[in-house]
Amino acid sequence: MRRTRRQHAIIYLGLTVGLVLVVGPFLWTALSSVKPEREIRRDPPTFWPETWTLDNFVELFERVSIGTAFANSVIIALVLVVTNLLFCSMVGYAFAKLDFRGKNLAFGLVLVQLAIPAIVLMVPQFVLIAKLGMVNTFIGIILPTVVTPLGVFMMRQFISDLPDELIDAARVDGAREFRIYFRIILPLCGPALATLGLITFLSSWNNFLWPAVVAQSENMYTLPVALNILNGNEGTHYNLLVAGSVVVIAPILLLFVFLQRFFIQGIATTGLK
């Protein structure tokens, strides 16, 4: 059925409202980062900066070692993306396509972990990491999330739907399990891997509490942890916080723009299974 002009207008109106609601705060943050502090706190607030200034960024870079923190965040996020893609898909494959004793129990345990809030595990995890002597190291920050239950669950669901015949055919051709996983399964998991990669990157990028607790010297700080120092004595410095937020958000936005196609595809293919 063809839509009338009127219907189009209504749809676009709805979309515009949604867009403003979603993009508005980001835009305000971005514009505020180039306003002087007094203007940010003024009531009524201004949307378009009256005075343009880069002082916030200058001050931010002077006060916080953003460069180091940025590098730390990137390294940690990338390592976690790689380990999660690899291990979650491996475990997911085993759960989906292999038969072994205790499989259901093991998978059940994975599902149970989905229900446990991370905060509950924090102290025991920290004690563990401390006893292993990994406090204030990259490995200490990374280890607890190298493979996540959510990732395993996602990959298992996705791989379950791949036809068994493909695997049987590969087996007939003499392929061993690892080769099947690597050459048959993994290439078919594109959309699921893209989604998992993005989720992992985002959650690592935004993760605050764990790195804040494990990193004990400033050269190990990630971006959110470094920015948190600004929450200081004389109240919060909103000018520095908005500038910091822009630094944190910008890479994510770029990532979304480039990976948008995969991301939408990923949701469409895994979400409804």
Partner 1 sequence: MNTITRRAGARATGGLLALAILAAGCGRDAAQAPEQAQNVTTGKVTGEVTVWAMGEEGKALGTFVKDFESANPGVKVNVTAIGWDVAHDKITAAIAGGATPDVSMIGSTWSGELAKTGALDPTPGNLVDKAAFFPGAWQTVELSGTAYGVPWYVETRVLYYRTDQAKKAGVQPPKTWQEFTEFARALKEKGGAKDGFQQSYTLGASWQEVLPLIWQAGGEIVKDGTYTFDTPEAVTALKQYESLFKQKLAPTNTAEGAFPQTFIKGEVGGFFSGPWMVGVLNNDGGPEFKDKFDVAPYPKGPVSGTSFIGGSAMAVFKKAKNRDAAWQFLQWLSEPKVQAKWYTTVKALPAVQVAWQEPELTADKQLAVFGEQLKDAKTPPPFPTWEQVARVLEGELEKLARGTQTPEQTAKSIQSQADTIGTGL
Binding site for partner 1 (CB under 8 A): 37-38, 41-43, 63, 119, 122-123, 126-127, 129-131, 135, 208-209, 212-213, 216-218, 225, 228-236
H-helix or E-strand spanning residue 189: none
Task: Tell me whether residue 63 or residue 171 sits nearer to partner 1 (CB atom).
Answer: 63
User: In the complex, what is the shortest distance from the CB of residue 144 to partner 1, in angstroms, rounded to a whole number?
Assistant: 13
If DSSP codes are grouped into helix, strand and coil, which group holds residue 2?
A: coil
User: In the complex, what is the shortest distance from the CB of residue 222 to partner 1, in angstroms, rounded to a whole number?
Assistant: 12
H-helix or E-strand spanning residue 232: strand 231-232
Q: Identify the residue whose tokens are 């607030």.
A: 45
Task: Tell me whether residue 32 or residue 195 sits nearer to partner 1 (CB atom).
Answer: 32
Task: Tell me whether residue 99 or residue 234 sits nearer to partner 1 (CB atom).
Answer: 234
Distance of CA 22 to the CA centre of its chain: 19
Task: Tell me whether residue 28 or residue 182 sits nearer to partner 1 (CB atom).
Answer: 28
CA distance 108 to 228: 38
H-helix or E-strand spanning residue 224: helix 223-228
User: In the complex, what is the shortest distance from the CB of residue 54 to partner 1, in angstroms, rounded to a whole number?
Assistant: 19
User: In the complex, what is the shortest distance from the CB of residue 254 to partner 1, in angstroms, rounded to a whole number?
Assistant: 26
Please give the radius of gyration of the chain, using alpha carbons only, rounded to the nearest integer. Answer: 23
